[in-house]
Amino acid sequence: MVGSGLVTLAVAALASLFMAWAIGAGSSGSTPFAPAVGANAIPVMRAGFVVGILGFAGAVLQGANVSEAVGQELVVGVTLSPIAATVALITAAALVAIGVFTGYPIATAFTVTGAVVGTGLAMGGDPAWAKYQVVAIMWVLVPFVGGGASFGIAWALRHVDADAVLIPALGAVVGVVVASIQFAFFGPPEVSRSFARAVAVSAGQPTAVVQVAVTLAVAALVALALRRDIVGDAARGQRHFLLALGGLVAFSAGGSQVGLAIGPLLPLIQGDAIPLYVLVGGGLGLLVGSWTGAPRMIKALSQDYSSLGPRRSIAALIPSFAIAQSAVFFGIPVSFNEIIVSAIVGSGYAAATGSGVSGRKMAFTVLAWVASLVIAFVVGYVGFTAIDAVV
């Protein structure tokens, strides 16, 4: 019995690595630098290499919140068994892998959520309606908030001839988000702190006023550095800003998406805290996926949905970064494909005629997202029920 249990656990761990690879190839590995590739700021292969490293860092440093939500909050009354976790992960990973090889970015959060809920309900659990409402609200708002914000930023960058003012101002907004990101290593054990909070605590003044002052100081430094770069060479400054945004989004993707791969394993692990080796293992899976499978999806996202220049790419990445960090902070599983595709389409429509936006490709993508959620739920439920009846 003990040997059988270890074998089942090992199979579940391998399924988790397969899921991490699929996410690295299709979501966290392809989306962050797709706008930068579309703007010819970085080659496809180099983008896949860099995003793999940054995604690994994000998985290790920020991966706990979403992992806990996926593993423990989607079904009430039961704990996922090793078989249930394996069925859920293989189901979700197979659907994401199909998207990678067909060139359609499947929403990873949709597949994992559907599969986990399906297997959990098949085990006899109850729906976590309150959590579903929060997740559904996030999923519905992402296209409107991300697409709307990217449209507004792209429109302003297109029609306001003041790059030396507007782009540094956008950099200041990014600086505010960076100063507010929560990191575990800034706080005591099992407590996360932002850079602003950590500086305030170190100074012996952990007040809101000091934290706001630190945040504004970071924003000002980013804005000043970016303005100096833009004034010296506008094209070079835009490229540097675009690549920095791609790096931030890649880091955020790792922190968010690793939870979709390792979350179903958490009920099988002893202890309250997520072991570091689990985050590292998930991060390595993302990294390998980014290096081996991401270039195909990078090409699809950078060219098939909209024609992107530096300004539109910047407009797409800023709201993507903010939404991703919000999802990590609140522990909500969200698809990076949904975030980036919505932002790319929104920035594309800021053009005079909305040129370059592929309506047909977008319609098929949305259909694939909805179908993946339903299929993952059905396959997870039926698959676990059938295997459980036999085993």
The 3-state DSSP class for residue 264 equals: helix
Q: Does residue 156 come out as left (phi exceeding 0), alpha (psi in the -120 to 50 range) or beta?
A: alpha
The 3-state DSSP class for residue 76 equals: strand
Higher pLDDT, 331 or 174: 174
Average pLDDT over the chain reads: 82
SS3 content of the chain, % helix, strand, coil (to 5): 80, 0, 20
How large is the average pLDDT for residues 171-190?
83
Least confident span in 67-71, 97-101, 215-219, 369-373: 97-101
Higher pLDDT, 307 or 46: 46
What ranges do the domains of the chain cover?
A: 2-390
Residue 2 pLDDT level (bands cut at 50, 70, 90): very low
**pLDDT given at position 283:** 85
Q: Which residues of 202-211 are buried (b: 16+ CB within 10 A; e: fewer)?
A: eeeeeeeebb
Residue 106 pLDDT level (bands cut at 50, 70, 90): confident
Cβ-contact 278, 29 below 8 angstroms: no
pLDDT tens, position by position, 316-356: 899 999 998 888 888 888 887 788 888 888 887 876 555 55
Instruction: Give the predicted TM-score (pTM) of the model.
Output: 0.83
96 vs 294: CA distance, rounded Å: 12
For residue 193, the cross-strand partners are 183
For the chain, what is the radius of gyration of the CA atoms?
A: 21
Q: Which of 339, 317, 341 is nearest to 328 (CA)?
A: 339
327 vs 329: CA distance, rounded Å: 5
211 vs 229: CA distance, rounded Å: 27
**153: Cβ contacts below 8 Å, ≥ 6 apart:** 170, 314, 315, 318, 319, 347
Q: Which two tokens stand for residue 257?
A: 């998406």
Cβ-contact 331, 131 below 8 angstroms: no
102 vs 316: CA distance, rounded Å: 24
CA distances from 320 to 142, 254, 336 (A): 9, 13, 8
